[in-house]
Structure formats: C-alpha cells, structure tokens
C-alpha cells in the first residue's frame, strides 16, 4: 500500500544513487534496516552492466563522507529518503609534486585516509618510512583567506593554495547528470567503453578479473572493498630488503633554477614568521580521505608530497638513495626560500655541499679530478694490495661506514630512535669503567648578559661546568677553593645557538636558559680559540639534554662532530676550483636572496669555492647526506610555526586587578614544534622565550568545539591552552595540524630498532587527536 511520497506500509522507500561512471541515476527500494553492502548489491543488479564494481563505494555529498562500513544499516548512518548518494570509483589518478619539484601522476585510493594514501604512494616511489611524509596543498598568498571568516563546511579554507580549485568547482557543478533514472543511454555506454579502454592501455591500472553481483556482494560483506593490487604491506616498506621503484630520476633529480622554482613550480619566499606560520594551514588531515577534504578524481589540483616530520629514522646510503635525495631537495628549497634562517658562513658551507652534489651529478670526473699528489701516490700504493685483501677490506669498510652513519644520524638528529639510543648507551656503559667522580670542564671565558639599551660589554670570568650546572667565579683561585660563585645556571633544557664566524675568528655561544619563573634567560659566552669553542659547545649541548661529562663516549662523539663541522666551515685560502673556471654556476641558485643582497656574487662564489675545497672528496650521496646533517645542526631546523592565542593555568584565583591586567595583555604568540621540543617564540625576532621537551609533556587534548589544543606539563605552567589565531580563515585545519605535529613526533619516538616493524595507523590517529580517536 502506497502512503505517498513513495513510502510503503512495509517502511521501504526509494533511494536515489548517481552512478558516476555511467552518469545515470538509479532508484532502488530499501528500508532503514538495509545494510550498506545490500544497497550496493541491489544497485549493481539494477545497473545490469557487466563490469568489475568491486572498486566502487557509496559517497554521500551532503555529509561529505564515504559509506564504507558495509555491515552497518542505513539507519545507523542516518541515510533517509531525501538523501542523494553517489556510486564512485575509489581508485583514481592523483597529480603530485614531489619534494624535488618533479611532477607525477599516481593511482591512489580516494576513500582511504591520507595516512594510508601516503604509504601507498611511498611504496610506489620506493621511499622507506612513509610515516615521515604527508600531503599538503599549495600555498598561494594572493588567495590566502585572512580574517575570521569561514572556509568550507568541513572547516577547510579551500582557497589556500588551490590555484586551480575554482576550475575544479566549476567543472564539478557543470556536469550534465541524468536525474530522471530509467534505462542506460547510448552516451553512458560510450563513456563506459572509453573508461574501460583507457584502463586497459594504462600499465599502472590494476587489472582485476570481472566480477558478478554475487561475488561482489561476498567481497563487500567481508569488509574488503576491492583494494587495488598496488597497495602494500607496511612491513615491506620498512625492511632493508625493500627495493621499490628505484628509478634514477628520483634518486638524482634534474637541476631546477631558483627563479624557475619560484615562477613555475609554486615555491614562495617567506619573509616573516607570520608567513612561515601560513604553512601550517596547508597540510591535509591525515585521518580523513582525499574526497572528504575537497580533492576529487579528475580535478586539476596538484597536491604536494613533502616530509612533514623531521625525525629521520635509519638513513642508510645503501638502501635510501631516493629517500636521501628527496630529503636533500626539500631541505635545499627550504633554505633557498628562507623558510629557515642561518648565518652567511653556514649558507656558504651548505652551498659548497650543494655545488659538490651538482658537480658529482653532472661531471663526477671533474669534481674528483683535483686530488692532491699525496692522494694519488696513496692510490698507487693501494693498487699493489692483492684482490682478496681489497675485497675483504672493502666489505669491512662498507659495513663500518654504514654502522657509523646509522649511529651518528640516530644519536644526534632524531627522536625516532630512542629505543636504539638507550640500548647503545647501556652497551657503552657496560664497557666503560665505573666513574666515581663526575668530570668537570673549566676555563676562562668572556660573559655577557644582554639587556635593553645596553652595549655588548663582555667580562672575563672563570667558568666551571659541574654535572649540568654552569658556575661563574671571579678567578681560578676562587673556583679551586670552592668559594662563593658569582652566578650559576642550570643548563638542563637550555637552547644552544652558535654565534660563529670562522673568517673573523669569532667563537661565540648564545644560551637561552630556563629560569625558575618558567621564562628563558639569554646569556652570551665568547671563547678564545676553535678548540676551546668545540669543547664548551659539546659539553653544554650534553648538559642541555641532561647528560654529564661522565658520558665520555657521548662527549667525545659530540666534540669530534663539532671539530669536523668547524674544519668544513673554515675557508681554504687556495681552493682547487677558481671563480673563472666556473662560468656556468649561477650563485643565485645556491644561496638565499638575503645573502645576495649583502654580498657581491663574485665574492659569494669565492667563499663557496673556498669551502668546497673541504668537501670535494665526497661522492654524490655523501654530499647530500652531509648537506642534511649540516642542516640538522642549525638551531631551528625543521620547526613548524603556529600563530596562536594562548592562556596559562593558575594555581590560585586571580584578583580583580590581576584580571584587568590579564585582559589588557596581548596573548597572540608564535609557537614552534620541533622534533624534540615545543617552543614559544617572539613573533617579531623569532627568539626563544620558553621551551618544553616532550619528556615534560604529560598529556594533551583537543577540543574540536572551540578548536583548542590543551597541553598538560610537568613543570610551570602546568597547563597551557593554544587556540589558532583568527588571522587564519581555517582555524580547524591549524588546530588539527598542531595536534598532528605534537602527536606525530611522539608516535615516531615509539619506533623500535626492528626494521620490519608494522606501522600502527590506529595508534597514530589516537595520538594525533582525530575525531574517532581522541588523544
């Protein structure tokens, strides 16, 4: 019996579904108790076209979500008679720009989360440890939505970086759709034939066997919606046996001039910390699918594949040629576009390493032909060794080199290897003799505490570093008698910023030391010689991480690394290459614009060549890996910036006068999230105001209603709430990215030395505060 509005006595009703491949609408009779798998089974029977429909799923445009849980009913998903669903192909083509600015089209699953899509992409590209990468939109400052306005209904401002999104939206609205239902038309059969023909001639499209409605229903009921054959096991990606698509153009990228990158590849020069904070709004939500974030198949928008987390795990030259090259390219462009600041000498050293990589990639013989006579005689003498001994020595040297580089990259540059570091430290402690008294480092240094409107007036004191505390004495006699010290500083959790210039023999150290009030105090130290500078920087760096000089192996390693960097950064007065011999080198492609404004091009090239003499013996991969390590020595490397409003909890209620003062304060602040800490920075200068290590982070929660991110700490302030600034149109995207940055780095710190471990995506979503898995 018909009750009107196409609703019958049995409670059934007609559901309208658009079949995307055929561009027709089918109406099938369902009830609220019909499960999603049953809906798709009825739809396939109603279409009556022999085609493999296993790679299709139901999409609900009004709710902007996929209906993939085939055992759930329509009532459980809130689908009623007025709903308009679409039957979409889940795998389709996606345009990507790689970190080296190359463009590529890959076939991905638009119904999977971005986290899973990135894993699939990295498997196709041959990049190990895909958990370090993610997808982002292109930033376009001209279309950037400023102010407190809204964005889309899902909280995303699609104007961010989507320079082609307007064409996408017009294309989406201009589709001619037959909403009248009925039989298939001849045009739809032609479109179907064209789709099948294009898939048949494309080598990257997985060829699945044809499937009837019955076998389709069985697969849908099993909860496996026809995944493509190119989807991979996460375990295979992280294993050393994984080779992937080891293509030469991904391991050795073509040279792209800086001007071309800025005008044609979409890179932007970042001139302020506020512009750096704009990058935080461009990352896609890792817990949502591409279609849920406005990226639809067939759109012309190009997404960017980038390294999001700079805690690189197990960088190995033997297995990570593509990965090292892509990291090198992304780091290089971040320096050239001034996304990260560095000194002029650091920039010239990085440019020298880039030049060596450029020469090795284009003319390896020229890059290595300028060897000294001693090296040539040593090579001739080495030629007399028997082949057996040479082969054995090569194997041993290669194994030792792999182990050394792995340990150096793990111990110095990543929190993603805490388990390995702990096991190595335990092993070293077992081998070392017991230390009854902790050694100390002492000597005369110059000291200055900067204040407003004061000149740099350094005073000479005798310093003694005991445990993690730095003591100042008027002279050595007072220190030896353990007399009253002038001042003391606890260096634990301090920030160490080198103030170095090898040309002018300036060996300075800037320290941002945490005080009892919870704020950072800045002090400057000045050393006399290079060796003294290396000793104090190594010791202070250990003390900032809570280590003492009793860890002799760690101190020796840090000291050796510092001296190596100083030797590389020191210019050689007579370089092997001259300015006149490098006419094809454009200095603008090797240094940031601010360096070009301060120095002449010929002087810059001369400084680069003087430092290139220190690294000319490195091969291609070694040059890139050394470039990455030099970048990792920069104080603010890999920091993600967020412009937020913040509030701190109080242990006691405020008085009315304190409340009035609090209201007058400007709480806009710049926060930075790095691989091992969270920082509060000065908006104008970028100076560090406070630092919290992840070890001091007790918990964090995300309130999606008010878009706030709350941190619970083990020291004052014990609780802190961050709310994205109204400066951004898409505050929800900023809040999610902030949660993903903090939770993602904690997730990466859980990685273990077992190289074949499986990636726990559910754990990642729980730690990053997705709506389905609250942190």
Positive or negative: CA dihedral 157, 141, 643, 695? positive
Using alpha carbons, select from 422, 510, 494 the residue that is nearest to residue 693: 494
In a domain, 448, yes or no: yes
510, 499 in Cβ contact below 8 A? yes
| pLDDT for position 355 | 95
The Cα 321–Cα 251 span in angstroms is: 5
pLDDT at 388 exceeding the cut of 70:
no
Angle between helix 530-544 and helix 552-569 axes, rounded to 10 deg: 130
Q: Which domain, by its residues, includes 668?
A: 640-768
What does the DSSP 8-state code read for residue 73? Answer: B
Q: Which helix (H) or strand (E) holds 403?
A: helix 387-413
For the stretch 609-650, pLDDT in tens is 999 999 999 999 999 999 999 999 998 999 999 999 888 876
pLDDT of the residue at 574: 78
Among candidate residues 39, 57, 89, the one where a domain is terminated:
89
Please, which residues have CB within 8 angstroms of residue 743's CB and are 6 or more apart in sequence?
Answer: 700, 764, 767, 768, 769, 775
> Which of the residue ranges 15-24, 103-112, 536-545, 565-574 would you say has the lowest mean pLDDT?
565-574
Q: Is the pLDDT of residue 445 over 90?
A: yes
531 domain-assigned: yes
Reported confidence tier of residue 653, pLDDT bands at 50, 70, 90: low
What Cα–Cα distance (Å) separates residue 602 from each residue in 114, 147, 572, 592, 606? 46, 44, 16, 15, 6
Residue 650 has a pLDDT of 61
Mean pLDDT of the chain: 78
More confident call, 219 vs 734: 734
For residues 254-262, give the mean pLDDT. 93
Whether 318 maps to a domain, the answer reads no
Domain count, the chain: 3
CATH number of the domain that 485 lies in? 2.30.29.30
Beta-bridged to residue 67, according to DSSP, are 58
d(CA 71, CA 494): 54
Q: What are phi and psi of 441, to 5 degrees?
A: -115, 130
- Beta-sheet strands, E only, within 568-707: 640-648, 668-673, 677-681, 688-693, 697-703
650 and 539 in one domain?
no
**CATH number, position 52:** 3.10.20.90
The arithmetic mean of pLDDT across residues 70-79, rounded, is 94
d(CA 207, CA 226): 12
Q: What is the mean pLDDT of residues 215-232?
A: 38
User: pLDDT, tens digit, for every residue of 281-330?
Assistant: 899 999 999 999 999 988 888 999 999 999 999 888 988 999 999 999 99
Residue 135 and residue 140: Cα distance in Å, rounded?
16
Helix 601-612 to helix 344-362 angle (10° resolution) is 70
| Residue 598: Cβ within 10 Å count | 11
Residue 216 has pLDDT above 70, yes or no: no
Higher pLDDT, 315 or 208: 315
206 found inside a domain: no
pLDDT beyond 50 at 469: yes
Q: Is 81 a domain residue? A: yes
Name which residue leads in pLDDT, 431 or 395.
395
DSSP state of 281: G
- Residue 513 domain-assigned (yes or no): yes
Helices (H), 577-690: 593-598, 601-612, 620-632, 656-664
Choose one of 548, 579, 602: the last residue of a domain: 548
What kind and span of H or E run contains 421? helix 418-431
pLDDT tops 70 at residue 390: no
196 falls in which pLDDT band (50, 70, 90)?
very low
Question: How large a percentage of the chain has pLDDT more than 70?
Answer: 71
- Alpha-carbon 66 to chain mean position: 28
Examine residue 560 and state whether it is found in any structural domain, yes or no: no
Residue 82 phi/psi, 5° resolution? -85, 0
pLDDT in tens, 658-682: 655 655 555 688 999 999 999 999 9
Last residue of a domain, one of 485, 518, 548: 548
**Residue 415 and residue 421: Cα distance in Å, rounded?**
9
Q: How large is the average pLDDT for residues 111-140?
A: 93
Q: What is the pLDDT of residue 62?
A: 95
Residue 63 included in any domain: yes
Cite the beta strand spans of 458-543 per DSSP E: 459-466, 469-473, 487-490, 495-501, 506-514, 520-527
Exposure b/e, 37-48, CB count within 10 A at least 16 = b: bbbbbbbbebbe
Q: Within this chain, do residues 531 and 647 fall inside the same structural domain, yes or no? A: no
Buried b (16+ CB within 10 A) or exposed e, 505-536: eebbbbbbbbeeeeebebbbbbbeebeebbbb
For the entire predicted model, the pTM comes to 0.79
């Amino acid at each position: 019996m018909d009750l009107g509005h196409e609703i019958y006595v049995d409670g059934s009703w007609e559901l309208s579904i658009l079949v995307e491949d055929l561009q027709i609408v089918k109406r099938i009779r369902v009830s609220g108790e019909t499960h999603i798998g049953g809906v798709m089974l009825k739809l396939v029977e109603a279409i009556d076209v022999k085609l493999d429909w296993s790679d299709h799923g139901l999409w609900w445009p009004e709710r902007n979500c996929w209906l993939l849980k085939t055992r759930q009913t329509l009532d459980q998903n809130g689908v009623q008679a007025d709903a308009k669903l679409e039957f979409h192909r889940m795998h389709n083509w996606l345009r990507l720009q790689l970190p080296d600015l190359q463009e590529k089209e890959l076939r991905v699953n638009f119904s999977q989360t971005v986290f899973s899509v990135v894993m699939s992409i990295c498997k196709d590209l041959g990049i190990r440890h895909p958990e370090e990468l993610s997808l982002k939109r292109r930033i376009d400052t001209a279309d950037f939505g400023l102010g407190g306005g809204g964005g889309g209904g899902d909280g995303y401002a699609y104007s961010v970086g989507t320079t082609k999104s307007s064409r996408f939206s017009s294309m989406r609205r201009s589709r001619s759709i037959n909403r009248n239902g009925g039989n298939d038309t001849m045009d739809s059969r032609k479109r179907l034939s064209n789709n099948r023909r294009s898939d048949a001639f494309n080598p990257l499209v997985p060829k699945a066997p044809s499937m009837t409605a019955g076998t389709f229903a069985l697969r849908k009921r099993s909860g496996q919606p026809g995944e493509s054959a190119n989807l991979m096991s996460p375990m295979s990606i992280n294993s050393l046996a994984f080779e992937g698509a080891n293509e030469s153009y991904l391991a050795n990228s073509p040279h792209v001039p800086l001007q071309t990158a800025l005008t044609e590849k979409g890179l932007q020069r970042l001139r302020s910390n506020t512009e750096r904070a704009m990058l935080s709004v461009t990352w896609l939500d890792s817990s949502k699918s591409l279609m849920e974030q406005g990226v639809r198949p067939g759109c012309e928008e190009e997404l960017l594949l980038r390294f999001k987390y700079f805690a690189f795990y197990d960088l190995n030259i033997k297995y990570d040629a593509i990965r090292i090259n892509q990291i090198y390219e992304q780091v290089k462009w971040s320096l050239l576009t001034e996304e990260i600041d560095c000194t002029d000498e650091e920039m010239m050293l990085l440019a020298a390493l880039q030049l060596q990589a450029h020469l090795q990639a284009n003319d390896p013989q020229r890059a290595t032909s300028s060897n000294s006579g001693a090296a040539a005689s040593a090579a001739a003498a080495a030629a007399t060794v028997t082949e057996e001994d040479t082969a054995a020595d090569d194997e041993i040297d290669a194994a030792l080199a792999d182990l050394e580089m792995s340990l150096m990259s793990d111990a110095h540059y990543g929190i993603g290897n805490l388990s390995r570091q702990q096991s190595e430290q335990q092993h070293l402690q077992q081998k070392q003799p017991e230390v009854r008294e902790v050694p100390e480092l002492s000597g005369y240094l110059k000291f200055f505490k900067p204040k407003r409107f004061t000149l740099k007036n350094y005073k000479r004191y005798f310093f003694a570093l005991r445990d993690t505390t730095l003591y100042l004495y008027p002279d050595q006699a007072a220190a030896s008698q353990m007399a009253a010290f002038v001042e003391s500083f606890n260096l634990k959790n301090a920030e160490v910023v080198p103030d170095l210039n090898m040309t002018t023999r300036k060996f300075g150290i800037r320290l941002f030391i945490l005080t009892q009030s919870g704020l950072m105090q800045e002090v400057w130290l000045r050393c006399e010689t290079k060796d003294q500078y290396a000793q104090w920087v190594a010791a202070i760096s250990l003390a900032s991480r809570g280590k003492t000089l009793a860890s002799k192996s760690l101190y020796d390693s840090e000291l050796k690394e510092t001296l190596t960097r100083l030797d590389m950064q020191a210019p050689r007065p007579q370089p092997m290459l001259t300015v006149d011999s490098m006419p094809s080198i454009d200095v603008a492609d090797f240094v940031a614009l601010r360096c070009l404004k301060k120095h002449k091009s010929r002087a810059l090239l001369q400084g680069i060549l003087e430092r290139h003499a220190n690294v000319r013996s490195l091969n291609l991969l070694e040059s890139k890996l050394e470039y990455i390590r030099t970048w990792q020595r920069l104080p603010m490397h890999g920091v993600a910036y967020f412009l937020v409003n913040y509030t701190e909890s109080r242990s006691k209620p405020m008085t009315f006068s304190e409340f009035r003062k609090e209201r007058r304060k400007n709480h806009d602040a710049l926060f930075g999230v790095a691989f091992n800490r969270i920082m509060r920075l000065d908006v104008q200068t970028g100076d560090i105001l406070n630092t919290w290590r992840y070890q001091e982070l007790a918990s964090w929660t995300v309130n999606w209603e008010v878009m706030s991110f709350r941190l619970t700490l083990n020291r004052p302030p014990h609780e802190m709430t961050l709310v994205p600034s109204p400066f951004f149109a898409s505050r929800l995207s900023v809040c999610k990215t902030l949660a993903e940055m903090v939770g993602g780095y904690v997730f990466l710190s859980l990685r273990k030395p077992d190289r074949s471990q499986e990636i726990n995506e559910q754990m990642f979503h729980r730690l990053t505060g997705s709506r389905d898995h609250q942190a």
